[in-house]
Homo-oligomer: A and B are copies of this chain.
Amino acid sequence: MYFVNMDQDEIFMRRAIQLAKKAKGGTSPNPMVGAVITKNGQIIGEGYHKKAGLPHAEIEAINSVKNKDDLIGATIYVNLEPCNHYGRTPPCSEAIIKSGIKRVVIGMRDPNPKAQGGVERLKQNNIEVKIGVLEKDANRLNEIFITNVTKLKPFFVMKAAMLLNGNIAVKGGVSKWITSEKSLRFSHKLRGLYDAVIVGINTIIMDDPMLTCRIRGYKQPKRVILDANLRIPLSSKLFSKYPNNVYIVTNSNQQEKKRQTLFAMGANIIECDAEKGVFVPEKLSQELLKRDICSALVEGGSRSHGYFLTNNLYDKAYLFYAPKITGSYGAFNVVGADAPYDLEHVHNLKNAKCRNVGNDFLIEGYF
């Protein structure tokens, strides 16, 4: 009775997406992909892509079926179109064709038109293909990968903790501990979910943060400092742990000695073109992608948020509000950039949702 109104293809696609999510935060620069193989309405094999360089989900699922004869006439569910090219692994379309699978259900096509072709290849081999099952969920699952290949930039996430009037600090710049312990914990989890954390050099100089993920079981993010003039103090706490994870983006080709010291400490230096002291957005994106920084949590400060927002670099936002309010004169606002003259030129947050995190409020949404 219960299953009468449920689409069987959606049930198995949901499972494929569930499997894909097991590798959340770990597949970069690859997408998250899960695969389920069924026969006569029963699951006979499952798999997911664990990490770049390891087998794709389809291969994992095919390998999980002990009796290969069972694959003949089977259906495979996969949230992303099977690849059709020789990368670090042979094409999945090939493996599916060889296996005897007769039907392929796909969540979404490969967002990179150049990488498409899997569907056509399968069809040429008389395999039935259905595209677009739970497509919205499939898109959301790989929002980072889609942004990387369609916009040629990392998925940039705005993260800020502020007072109810948008202040991120009081006069003089004190900004620590605006929000509660619970929000702080949530923020640390976010650091573990994205490839990198980005802050401007002023945040390093004023707050001297570690920018590590302090939640057990989560990975450490790369830490990127936007520091056009290489002002970073060598005594920054940042260097006290995982210095190899520190990336200093700069446009200063002087201070050779400081550079050498930073290298010796293990830090990485990224040269990036700038115009009038401001990094060229496309160049910054390229440099980060080159280093497999496919997603980044931008934690401020004010000027950094202003830079990313006004250059249309942001994809998503996590805005934490403490239930506190105060005057604004002389304090830093969360977005340090010129206001437009027209309400039509503000940035809209889509699918925005609000929820409680301890005593604080979290508004999240997409740009």
Contacts and interface: CB of A to CB of B under 8 A. Distances in A.
Contacts of A321: 363
B325 A329 contact: no
B163 A346 contact: yes
A149 interface: no
Contact of A170 (B327, B333, B339): B339
* Most B-side CB within 10 Å, residue of A165, A349, A354, A365: A165
- Stoichiometry, copies per complex: 2
A299 B333 CA distance: 22
B335 A328 contact: yes
A177 B166 CA distance: 19
Given A165-B335, A327-B310, A337-B327, A361 B363 contact: yes
A125 interface: no
A319 B349 contact: no
A346 B171 CA distance: 11
Given A177-B343, A333-B333, A323 B349 contact: yes
A336 interface: yes
Contacts of A359: 352
Interface residues of A, number: 52
A330 interface: yes
5 contacts: A166-B167, A170-B346, A324-B348, A326-B346, A330-B338
Contacts of A347: 324-326
Given A325-B349, A354-B355, 8 more contacts: A166-B333, A309-B325, A310-B327, A326-B347, A327-B339, A328-B335, A329-B336, A330-B339
B317 A167 contact: no
A340 interface: yes
* Most B-side CB within 10 Å, residue of A167, A346, A363: A346
A340 B166 contact: no
A301 to B, nearest CB: 13
A331 interface: yes
